[in-house]
Chain A
C-alpha cells in the first residue's frame, strides 16, 4: 500500500539502479543481432567458454579433420547430385549427347548419371568431387583410426568414442558401397551381382535375404531405389548423428595431447579455438575441399561411360570394388572352393563365400570396437589417460596393431591378384597361394618384427638420454683415437624420452587362500596374469636421473664398468650436468 505513491512512480529508480543509457553502454559489446539473440538464447555464457577452449597442435590430429571435412564435402556435393540423378531401374533408350551409347537400352539411373557427366554443365565436376571426397573420407577415417589406436587415445575415458568411431568407419564403407552402386554401370552392377551371391551364401536364410533385398529375382527394379534411400537418407542420418556425438565427446573430454614439456595428464596445452583454431581448422576445411576439387579437375574417377550399362552377360577384366571394399573382395579370392559342402538334408553350405562376405566385416569391426576393453582388462589399468603414448612405448599394442594391418594388407593385395599377375608377369595361382599362406604367416611375423623395432627404439631413446645426441663432430684426441662428440639433451628434449611409465606384468599373489583352498579369484585371474605377461614381459625402463648421473661419470672417467653405476652415483650427485663436449675439451 505504501509502495505506490506520487513521489515514487513504479518505473522510478531505486538506489543503486543504473540509468538506462548506462545499461546500454555496459552491453555495448553485445549489441545488435548478437544482443537480440542472447536475450532469447543466453548463448553468451557458452561463447566465452567455447572461444577459450584449448586444442593441442599435432599434424596427426588433422587426420580426423580431413575425415570430417571430406564428409561435409560429400554431403554438399551429394545434395547437388540428387537434383539430377534419377534413382530408377526403369529401362530407357539413351538419346543424350554421348555418341557411343546413343540408342542403347539402359536404366534411368545410368542415363541420368550420363546426363550429369555430359549434359549438365559442371555436373561431371560435382560428380568427381563427390567420388573423390568419398574415397578420401574413407581413407582418412582409417588413418585417423590407426592414429588413435597406436597412440592409445582410445583409453579411458574415451572408450565410448572409440566405439562410435568404429561404427562410423563401418558405416562409411557401407555408405560408399551403396553410393558407387547407384549409377548402375557394368562395373558396379557386377558388384551388386556379387552382393547377391553373398546374400545367397548365408545358411538357411540366404535365398530369402536375396529376395528381400532385391524385391524379387536379381536384379529387379527395386535395388536401385532401395540403395538410394539407404545412401541419401538412412545411412547419412546415422552417420551425421554419430559424428556429432563423436565431436561432442571430443569437446567434453578435451583433446588428448602428446607428451612434452609442460604437458601433463591434468592439463591440455595448445591454442584457443578463437581465433587460432577457427582460422587453422576452418582454413583447413578450405584446403581439403580445394585439394579435392583440384584432383577432381584433372584426375578422372569412375568413368561410368566407358563401362556401359549393367547387363548380367558382359563383364570387364580386372573387375574390382572401390578400395575400401578391397579387403573383403580379397578374402573371397583367397577362400578355397573346397570349403563348400552339402550336408545331411541336402542343404548347401557355402563356406567358400559366407566367411569372407557376410562374416568378415562384423567380426573385424567387433574386434576393433572391443579392443579398448580387452586391453584395459589385461593391463588392469582403470585410470584416465589424456597423454598419448608414443607407439614405441607400447610395444605390444603397436605390434598387435601392425599384425592386424598386415592381415588387412594381405587381403587387400589379394583383391588385386589378377592385376599383379598381369603387370608383374607372374602366375595368378602362385600369387594367390602365396597370399593364402601369408594370411596366416604375415601377422605373427609382423608382430614380432614390430615389437623388436619398438624395443630397439626405446633402447635408442635411452642411449640418447644417457649419452646425449650425436653432433656429427669428430674429435681427435692426443693419443690419436677418434670419437664422435655427443651433446647432452636439454631438459625439454629429454622429458619427451623419459616421461612414460614402464609397466610390469601383473603377478598372481597366491593361488590359494588363507585356508589352503584354491581361490576362485586366482583361477579367474590366472588367464589375466598370462595376458599381462604377454603385454609387459619385454620392457625397457625409461632412464632415471641417477642413471644419467652414472652415465656422466662413465664419460668423466673414461671406462667405468657397467656395474659401477650405483657406486659412482653418490659422488656425482651434487654436480652440475656439464656438457659432455666440454668434458672432451678438458681431455
Chain B
C-alpha cells in the first residue's frame, strides 16, 4: 500500500514536480549520477585528555567524586537544618530582601544535594565514558507486504469466525448496545453535576422582598456597618453590601454566592458632572451606587480614578464612565454597570428602595429574556 503510493507519484497524478524528473519524491541519497556532494562519513574520532593521559583520567575521577561528595554534604546540611533552624527565623538575603531562613537553607541544601549528583554523572559521562559514536541502522517503519498480508489474513479469519458479516442482526444490535450504553453514565454525570437555576442569575439580595418589602440599608464591606448620607464626602468611595447579607453571615451559608452578585460601589462626585438624568435621579446629590460586578466576565470593578471619574476593571481593563451612567468607554465589556437606586431613610442612612432593574454581572444566554 505504501509502496503503491510512492510509485504512483508523478505518473498517474495530475501533479508532478516542476523539474519533471520524478526524483523529487525520492530521497536524495537514492539518486545516482546527479551533481551532488557525497556524504563524507563519520569524522575521525578525537581523543579526549582522559582517553590517553592516566593523570587526566585520575583527575576526572576525583572531580566526579568531589561532586558526589558535595551532594552528600548538601544532604547532611538539609537534615541538620531541618531540626536546627527555627520556623520563625528570617534573615536579610542580599538582593532579595527578608527571607524565611528555613526555606532558603532547606531549599539550597536540597537543591545542591540533587544538583551535584547530576553534574557529577554528566561530568563522568563526558570525561570517562566512551565518546565514540555508534551507528545504528534504521529500518522502514512499515511492515513488509507479507507481514501485512499475514495480519489481514489473521484478522479476516477471526472476523469470519464470528460470522459477523453474515449475521446482520448481531451486527446492528451490538452496534446499538455499544452506542447506547454510555448514555446512562453521561446522563448521571450531566444530570447530577449541579442544580440549574438560571432565573437565580437575574436575582440579587438587593430585592426588598428579601427584607420584608422594606428598603435595604447600604452597609460597609466588610464591616457591615450602615452608611450615613453625610459621611459620604465628595470624591469618596465606599465598598458596599446590602443589609440583607447579615442573615447569610449569621447562618454561615451561601455568603460568597450572595456577595458574588450583591457587591456595590458607592461614589460621590459633583452632581453637575453627571450627564444622564436617570443616573442623577437614582442617586442623591451626586452620591451614586453601581454594581461592582463587571459586565464582562464578573471581576470586581475595584479601581476608581477620581480625576477622570472612570471605573476600571483590573482583570481585562474595561473602563466605565461614571458621568455617563457607567457606560463602557473602553475595553471588552459591552453593557454599562447596572445602577442601584438609593435614597436616605428617616435616620439619615443610605438605603436602596428597589433592587437592580436588570441582571448584574457577566452576560448569559437568557439574560435579556
Which of B2, B29, B41, B296 is the one whose CB lies under 8 Å from A353?
B296
B193 contact from A129, A213, A287, A529, Cβ within 8 A: A213
Whether A290 lies near B111 (C-beta < 8 A) is yes
Write out the residue numbers on chain B whose beta carbons fall within 8 Å of the beta carbon of A271.
130-131, 133-134
Query: What chain A residues lie within 8 Å of B222 (beta carbons)?
Result: 311, 313
A298 within 8 A of B: yes
Beta-carbon contacts under 8 Å, B58-83 to A: 82
Residues of A within 8 Å of B26, CB to CB, are: 383
Q: A211-B195, A262-B43, A532-B15 are in contact. Are A347 and B369 (CB under 8 A)?
A: yes
Instruction: Tell me whether A545 and B107 are in contact (CB under 8 A).
Output: no
Binary interface encoding of chain B residues 314-356 relative to chain A, with 1 for a CB under 8 A from any of its CBs, else 0? 1111110000000010111111000000000000000000000
Instruction: Kindly state the separation between the CA atoms of A313 and B245 in the bound complex, as whole angstroms.
Output: 13
**When A217-B197, A261-B41, A329-B316 are in contact, do A348 and B25 touch as well, CB less than 8 Å?**
no
The interface stretch among B121-129, B176-184, B209-217, B271-279 is: B121-129
Any A CB within 8 A of the CB of B32: no
Alpha-carbon distance between A14 and B364 when the two chains are bound, in angstroms:
87
Interface size class of A (residues with CB under 8 A): 35 or more
On chain B, the residues within 8 Å of A269 by CB distance are 42, 133-136
Q: Are B136 and A546 in contact (CB under 8 A)?
A: no
Query: Contacting chain B: which of A80-88, A362-370, A470-478, A507-515?
Result: A507-515
B260 to A280, Cβ gap below 8 A?
no
Contact with A along B118-148 (1 / 0, CB 8 A): 1111101110011101111110110000000
Q: Which of B179-217 contact A (CB under 8 A)?
A: 190, 193-198, 200-201
B292 touches A313 (CB 8 A): yes
Contacts of A204 in B (CB 8 A): 365
A254–B136 CA distance with the chains assembled, in angstroms: 9
Give the chain A neighbours of B328 by CB distance below 8 A. Answer: 337
How many whole Å from B174's CB to the nearest CB in chain A? 27
- Residues from chain B with Cβ under 8 Å of A219 in the complex: 256-257, 260
The yes or no answer to A335 lying at the interface (CB within 8 A) is yes
Chain B residues with CB below 8 A from A418, complex form = 314, 317
- Interface residues in B252-281 (C-beta closer than 8 Å to A): 252, 254-257, 259-260, 263
B132 vs chain A, min Cβ distance (A): 8
B193 touches A212 (CB 8 A): yes
> Inside 8 A of B140's CB, which chain A residues have their CB?
384
Would you call B119 and A283 a contact (CB within 8 A)? yes
Q: State whether the Cβ of B298 lies closer than 8 Å to any Cβ in chain A.
A: yes
Q: Is B362 an interface residue (CB 8 A)?
A: yes
Question: Cβ of A380: which chain B residues have Cβ within 8 Å of it?
Answer: 9, 15, 25
The answer to whether B16 has its CB under 8 Å from any CB of chain A is: yes
B256 CB to closest chain A CB (Å) equals 5
Do A200 and B364 touch across chains, with their CB atoms under 8 A apart?
yes
Q: Say which one of B96-104, B150-158, B161-169 lies at the interface with A.
A: B96-104
Establish whether residues B134 and A313, one from each chain, have CB atoms under 8 Å apart when the complex forms: no
- Whether B108 and A297, one on each chain, are in contact in the complex, defined by CB atoms closer than 8 angstroms, is yes
On whether the beta carbons of B196 and A212 are closer than 8 Å, the reply is: yes
| In contact, A54 and B366 (Cβ under 8 angstroms) | no
Name the interface residues of A94-138: CB closer than 8 Å to any CB of B: 97, 118-119, 121-122, 124-125, 128-129
Q: Knowing A200-B363, A353-B363, A544-B37 touch, does A268 contact B135 (C-beta < 8 A)?
A: yes
Residues of A within 8 A of B131 (CB): 271, 276
- Tell me how far the C-beta of B67 lies from the nearest C-beta in chain A, rounded to whole angstroms: 10
Name A332's closest neighbour in chain B (CB-CB): B316
Q: A216-B195, A218-B260 are in contact. Are A348 and B297 (CB under 8 A)?
A: no
B368, A346: Cβ atoms closer than 8 Å: yes
Contacts of A504 in B (CB 8 A): 17-19, 24
Known contacts being A203-B365, A265-B27, is A197 close to B107, with CB within 8 Å? no
- A313 and B241 within 8 A (CB): yes
When the two chains form their complex, are residues A282 and B194 in contact, meaning their CB atoms are under 8 A apart?
A: no
B303 in contact with A333 (CB, 8 Å) = no
Of A53, A97, A347, which contacts B368 at CB under 8 A?
A347
Residue of A nearest to B88 (CB): A97
**Closest-CB distance, B144 to chain A (whole angstroms):** 15
Interface residue? A23 (CB, 8 A): no
Q: How far is the CB of B182 from chain A (nearest CB, A)?
A: 17
Decide if B299 is an interface residue (CB 8 Å cutoff).
yes
CA distance A205 to B193 in the complex (A): 14
Most buried by A among B35, B39, B43, B293: B39
- B250 in the interface (beta carbon within 8 A): no
> Bound state CA distance, A298 and B135, in angstroms?
44
Whether B282 is near chain A, meaning CB under 8 Å from some CB there, is no
User: Does B14 lie within 8 Å of A315, measured CB to CB?
Assistant: no
Smallest distance from the beta carbon of B328 to chain A beta carbons, Å? 5
Complex-state Cα separation, A95 to B1, whole angstroms: 71
A383–B26 alpha-carbon span in the complex (Å): 8
* Shortest beta-carbon distance from A62 to chain B in Å: 11
CB distance from A529 to the nearest CB of B (A): 6
CB-CB under 8 A from B254, the residues of chain A are 217
* Residues on the B chain within 8 Å of A196, using CB: 297-298, 362
Chain A residues, Cβ within 8 Å of B223 = none
Asked if A206 lies at the interface with its beta carbon under 8 angstroms from chain B, I say yes
Quick one: which of B107, B121, B221 contacts A128, CB cutoff 8 A?
B107
Q: Could you mark each residue 235-258 of chain A with 1 if its beta carbon is under 8 Å from any beta carbon of chain B, else 0?
A: 000000000000000000110000
User: A207 touching B330 by the CB < 8 A rule?
Assistant: no
Give CA–CA (A506, B14) in the complex, Å: 9
Q: A342 contacts which chain B residues (CB < 8 A)?
A: 368
Q: How far is the CA of A285 from the CA of B115 in the complex (A)?
A: 9
Q: Give the contacting residue for B106; candidates A52, A212, A297, A501; CB below 8 A.
A: A297
B93 within 8 A of A: yes
Q: Which residues in B have their C-beta under 8 angstroms from that of A122?
A: 82, 102, 106
Q: Which of A28-36, A447-455, A520-528 contacts B (4 or more CB under 8 A)?
A: A520-528
B148 to chain A, nearest CB (A): 15
Contacts of B332 in A (CB 8 A): 332-337, 352-353
Question: B55 an interface residue at 8 Å Cβ cutoff?
Answer: no
A394 to B: closest C-beta gap in Å: 15
A143 interface residue (CB < 8 Å to B): no
Q: How far is the CA of A8 from the CA of B292 in the complex (A)?
A: 100
Contacts A204-B365, A381-B25, A429-B330; A286 near B103 (Cβ below 8 A): no
Contact of B114 among A206, A272, A290 (CB under 8 A): A290
B40 at the interface (CB under 8 A from A): yes
| Contact of B130 with A276 in the complex, beta carbons under 8 Å | yes
- Compute how far the CA of A528 lies from the CA of B239 in the bound complex, rounded to whole angstroms: 61
Does B13 sit at the interface, judged by CB under 8 A? yes
Q: Is B48 an interface residue (CB 8 A)?
A: no
Q: A128-B107, A200-B363, A384-B141 are in contact. Are A284 and B331 (CB under 8 A)?
A: no
Q: In the complex, which residues of chain B have a beta carbon less than 8 angstroms from the beta carbon of A198?
A: 297
Cβ of A144 < 8 Å from any Cβ of B? no
A482 at the binding interface (Cβ < 8 Å): no
B114, A319: Cβ atoms closer than 8 Å: no
List the one stretch of A168-176, A404-412, A487-495, A551-559 in contact with chain B. Answer: A487-495
Contact flag A194-B363 (CB < 8 Å), given A294-B108, A381-B25: no
Alpha-carbon distance between A110 and B70 when the two chains are bound, in angstroms: 38
Of A284, A313, A510, the contact of B122 (CB 8 Å cutoff): A284
Cα A202 to Cα B333 with chains together (Å): 16
With A207-B365, A268-B138, A333-B317 already in contact, 11 other A-B pairs whose C-beta atoms are closer than 8 Å: A264-B29, A265-B29, A269-B134, A286-B117, A298-B96, A311-B256, A337-B332, A352-B296, A382-B5, A509-B15, A532-B15
In the assembled complex, 8 residue pairs joining A and B whose CB atoms fall closer than 8 Å, in A order, are A197-B362, A211-B196, A215-B195, A219-B260, A220-B194, A319-B315, A332-B296, A357-B297
